[in-house]
Amino acid sequence: MDMNDAPYSDDGRGYFTEERKMIRDSARQFTMNEVLPIANQLDGPDAEIPDALKQKMADMGYFGIMIPEEYGGLGLGAFEYCLVAEQLARGWMSVASLMARGQGGWIRKAMSPEMQAEYLPRVMRGEFLNATSLSEPGTGSDLASISCRAERDGEDWVLTGSKYWCTFADGADYLTIFARTAPPPSSDKRWMGISCFMIEKERGSLPKGIAGSPIPKIGYFGWKTFELSFDGFRVPASHLIGEEGRGFLLMAKGLETARAHTAARSIGLAQGALEDAISYAQEREQFGMPIAEFQAIRFKIATMATEVEAARQLLYSVCNSIDTGARCDMEASMVKYFASEMAERVTSEAMQIFGGAGYTKLHAVERHWRDARLTKIFEGTSEIQQRIISDKILGKSLLDKIVADRAFDKKWGTDPNLGAAAE
The string of pLDDT tens digits covering residues 230-267 is: 999 999 999 999 999 999 888 887 899 999 999 999 99
pLDDT classification of 420: cutoffs 50, 70, 90? very low
pLDDT band at 23 (very low <50, low <70, confident <90, very high): very high
CATH topology of domain 130-245: Butyryl-CoA Dehydrogenase, subunit A; domain 2 (2.40.110)
State mean pLDDT over 378-393.
94
pTM recorded for the entire structure: 0.92
pLDDT at 419 over 70: no
Domains of the chain, by residue range, sit at 3-124, 130-245, 249-394
Q: What is the pLDDT of residue 15?
A: 84
How far is Cα 3 from Cα 96, in angstroms, rounded to an integer? 19
3-state secondary structure of 383: helix
Q: Name which residue leads in pLDDT, 219 or 145.
A: 219
Active site residues: 379
374 or 142, greater pLDDT? 374
Task: Tell me how far apart the alpha carbons of residues 418 and 337 are, in angstroms, rounded to a whole number.
Answer: 35
Same fold, 3-124 and 130-245: no
Q: Look at 11-15, 75-79, 83-87, 301-305 and tell me which has the smallest mean pLDDT.
A: 11-15
268-317, pLDDT tens digit by residue?
999 999 999 999 999 999 999 999 999 999 999 999 999 999 999 999 99
Percent of the chain with pLDDT over 90: 78
The topology under which CATH files domain 249-394 is Butyryl-CoA Dehydrogenase, subunit A; domain 3 (1.20.140)
pLDDT score recorded for residue 243? 92
**What is the C-alpha separation between 239 and 336, in angstroms, rounded?**
31
CA-to-CA distance for 380 and 387, rounded, in angstroms?
10
Tell me the three state secondary structure of residue 44.
Answer: coil
**Mean pLDDT (whole number) for 116-133:** 95
pLDDT at residue 348 tops 90: yes
When the pLDDT of each residue in the chain is averaged and rounded to a whole number, the result is 92
pLDDT band at 33 (very low <50, low <70, confident <90, very high): very high
Q: Domain 3-124 carries which CATH code?
A: 1.10.540.10
Residues 6+ apart with CB under 8 A from 235: 150, 156, 157, 158, 159, 177, 197, 198, 199
Does residue 156 surpass a pLDDT of 90?
yes
State what percent of residues in the chain have pLDDT above 70. 94
- pLDDT for residue 415 is more than 70: no
Report which of 206, 249, 207 is spatially closest to residue 106, judged by C-alpha positions. Answer: 249
pLDDT at 421: 41
